[in-house]
Structures are given as C-alpha cells and as structure tokens.
Amino acid sequence: MRVFPRLIGLAVGAALISAPAYADPLKAEVIHWWTSGGESAAVKVFADAYNGAGGQWVDSAIAGGEQARTAGINRIVGGNPPTMMQFNTGKQLDELVNNGLLADLDAEATAGNWKSVLPKAIVDASVRNGHFYALPVNIHGQNWLFYSTKAFADAGVAAPKTWSDILAAGPKLKAKGLIPLAHGGQSWQDHILFDAVLAGEGGSALYMSVYGKDAQTAIADPKFKHVAEMFKQLRDLMDPGMPGRNWNDATAMVITGKAGMQVMGDWAKGEFLGANQTAGKDYGCVVPGAGGYVMGGDVFVFPKLKDADGQKAQAKLANLMFDPKVQIAFNIKKGSIPVRTDADGAGMDVCAQQGIAAVKDASKQLPSTSYLISPDENGALNDVITEYLNTPGETADAFVAKFAAAVKSAG
C-alpha cells in the first residue's frame, strides 16, 4: 500500500518537470551614449517597446560619443560584443564592416521595404556592397541655431537669419548682461559650429567640395578664408569658461536665460522639452544662412553573434525600432525627425516641421562630415579647428594652411 502514494508522487513530479519551461525574455545588451536628460527619455521609448514585446533591454549607456564608440569597438574586436551598438550615420562603421564583424540586416530590410521608405542619402550611408549594415533611427539637423525668445525680446533684437545677423546681435545681447553665444568647447562641438558657418556662409557647394574630392582647391578659395575669419569672430560672443563644457550645460544656459543663443544639433530640443519649454514660444529655432541642412543622425549596428538567442533578439530589435509608431514616439522625445519618409510628422513641433520640409528638398540636403570623411580625418580636423578657436593669436591664413595639411595627411 505504501508503493501507490509513491507512484502518484513520481507521476506528478514527472508531469511537472516535463511541463513547458517558462520562456526567458530575450536579453539584448545595448551600448549607446544617450545620457543627457532628453536623450535618456528618448532611448527609454525603444527600451519600453522592446520590453513590452517580451524582450529584456539591458542598457549599457556610456557618456560621451567618442568614449562609447571606443568601448563598443573594443568589445566587438575583443570578442565580447553587445547585442546592439550605436554609431553616427556614415563612415564610422566602415572598419567594422570591412573586417566582417557586423551582421547584415538584409532580411529585415527586405521585409520592411527599407530602400523605398528611406531618403537616398541615408540608404547610401547604411549600405555597403549592396547589403544593409546599419539600422537608421533618426535624422538630426546639425546646424540649428536655438535662441531664447525672451532674451532677444529684452535686447530688442529681431530673430537672426544669417551669420552676419548673429554677429550683429552679439554686442546688443552683451549690453544686457547676457552671454551672446553659449558654447561647449569640446572639439566635436567646435567642429559642428565650424560646419554650420561653412554651410550657412560659405554655401552648400563649398561645403561639399571641402569634404569631397577636390578639397585642396576648395580650401584655397578666398570664400573658405572668409568662413574661417567669421568663425573666429564668434569667439568674442562666447564666455571665457567655455572650454571643455558639455553641450547640454550650454543648452541649460540658454534655457535658464543666462545666454542668448546656441548653435547645436536638434538633439538639444530634448533638453528644452525636459524643461517644459515649447518651440516657437519659449525658444526659437532657425537654420542660419543659405539654408543647407546639415544632416547627421544615429544608426544602430548589430555585431555578429554566435548564439541563436542573440540573433533572435537582434532581428526583433531591428523590426521594432523601424516601426512607424515607435519611430514617431522616439523622435518626438529625441528632437530629431523620423528617418522614414512615410512617417506622419503632423504631431511634431515647428522646428521638426521645418526639418522635415528641408529634408524633402534634395537641394537642401547636406550630409554631415561623418558621412563624407573617415573618423581619422574627422579627428584631425577637430584638432585643427579647436586649436584655431582657442588660440587668440592664430590667423585665418595659418588655420587654412593647417586645415589643408590635415586633409592631405589623413585623407
């Protein structure tokens, strides 16, 4: 009689063990550099969407684009790759692709019809040898001027439209005790400011030549020297404590009314959003100058993984982040415009509407330097530009010579 309860016990035990295992969520480790307030809110949209779809988003945020890319590349090359990693659109991922370290996204690209919904410049930047290697998630305009409407109203200055307007507004803002131009003096920000002057004052043709095939002729052009001189004059509009400042600390200066303007990409809108300021009301946005829209952006790449779960997680992420609804929700928080041309931008703010209109116009599209030159050349130009901006005695001629030398040695 004692055998029977035991047999029952064994049978129940066997049934429990053979019951289907509780499915573990698909873990995905993501390296990115979105650590400011507005940026974290934006990446949370992706994380929540992924977690909601049954995955588990493991966030490995690293502050600073250069630092995050360094850490990520190190891990991929070293054999411990994350599931997904952020890059800027363009040539930053060339070396990884050339060494066969990235998984291609052709399956998701064909299923989602990426080639037909993405602008041509973005497709060209994400495709290598006919295969998609990067998942574009947004288009950032890099040469925006954000200005505090209150500061400008107090100083009695009209909204600036060209770079000459910006230089003219400087003394008037200073008279009111404001810092005319809030700037974060890190070399990549100096470069963005320089590119903004180059595109706005020098024109789209000069911009494309300087970063293109006949760079030396374009650099020798007197218009380039004029751009350099104007860039140097902007130093007088900045405060002495600007070297090394983070970009979001400079935006905070405009938000709190200590400074009048900032030249930054539209990721700065996330900061304004976080401070509950509305575009068009509390702050204004304009692309100064001839109107060429310098397009940057972020993409995500997927390192080649050996385990099947990791690959499933990658496929899930790719499809999810390209979904139109997720795109709109993410881009609203991020300040950028959706990379899909079929996404409905009606719910986005006035600055985004301006951006969407600019991107639709092919003549206004200017790829940012990350599309056009290698990280090596970009870095070498960062050094030249930041040294020029920070050295009071350096002349425009000396700068032009150094710029030409850097392009020659790195290109």
Partner 1 sequence: MTDAPKPPRARPPLSRWRSKAPAILALIPAACVVLFIYIGAMVWTVRLSFSSSKMLPVLDNVGFNQYRRLFATERFNLSVEHIALFGCLFIAGSLVIGFLLAVFIDQRVRGEGVFRTIFLYPYAMSFIVTGLAWQWFLNPELGLQKAVREAGFPDFTFDWIVDQNRVMYTLVIAAIWQASGLVMAILLAGLRGVDAELWKATRIDAIPTWRVYVSIILPMIAPMLVTAAVLLAVAVAKLYDLVVAMTKGGPGLSSEVPAKFIMDNFFERSNVGLGSAAATVLLVTVIAIFSPWIYSQHLRPQGARR
CB of 99 to partner 1, least distance (A): 5
Q: Give me the least distance between CB of 349 and partner 1, in Å please.
A: 31
Closest to partner 1 by CB, 46 vs 403, is: 403
Burial of 410 (0-12, 13-18, 19+ CB in 10 A): middle
Q: At what angle do helices 187-197 and 375-390 cross, to 10 degrees?
A: 90
Residue with tokens 């938000």: 255
Chain mean position to CA 112: 23
Stretch near partner 1 under the rule CB under 8 A, chosen from 18-26, 214-222, 269-277, 372-380: 372-380
Question: What is the distance between the alpha carbons of residues 104 and 303, in angstroms, rounded to a whole number?
Answer: 9
| Residue 379 sits in the site that holds partner 1 (CB under 8 A) | yes
Per DSSP, what are the bridge partners of residue 331? Answer: none
Amino acid sitting at position 36: S
Cβ nearer to partner 1, comparing 106 with 249: 249
Q: Are 371 and 173 in contact (CB under 8 A)?
A: no
The count of chain residues that interact with partner 1, using the rule CB under 8 A, is 35
Per CB under 8 A, 401 contacts partner 1: no
Closest separation in Å from C-beta 133 to partner 1: 15
Our finding on whether 113 is near partner 1 (CB under 8 A) is no
Range in contact with partner 1 (rule: CB under 8 A) among 39-47, 149-157, 297-305, 368-376:
368-376
**Single residue of 8, 10, 70, 120 touching partner 1 by CB under 8 A:** 70
For residue 147, the minimal CB distance to partner 1 (Å) is: 21
**Quick one: which of 26, 42, 73, 294 contacts partner 1 (CB under 8 A)?**
73
Based on CB atoms, which residue is closest to partner 1, 55 or 72? 72
* 185 binds partner 1, rule: CB under 8 A: yes
β-strand partners of 181: 261
Phi, psi of 12 (to 5 degrees): -65, -45
Dihedral over alpha carbons 70, 72, 77, 80 (to 10 degrees): 140
Contact region for partner 1 (CB under 8 A) — 73-81, 107-115, 134-142, 155-163?
A: 73-81
Return the residue matching tokens 């997680």: 313
Q: Which stretch binds partner 1 (CB under 8 A): 5-13, 68-76, 156-164, 345-353?
A: 68-76
As a whole number of angstroms, the distance between CA 401 and CA 398 comes to 5
Instruction: Report the half-sphere exposure of 292 (CA within 13 A, side-chain side).
Output: 21
Contact 90, 125 (CB under 8 A): yes
Binding site for partner 1 (CB under 8 A): 66, 69-70, 73-74, 77, 95-96, 99, 185-187, 239-244, 374-376, 378-380, 383-384, 386-391, 402, 405, 409
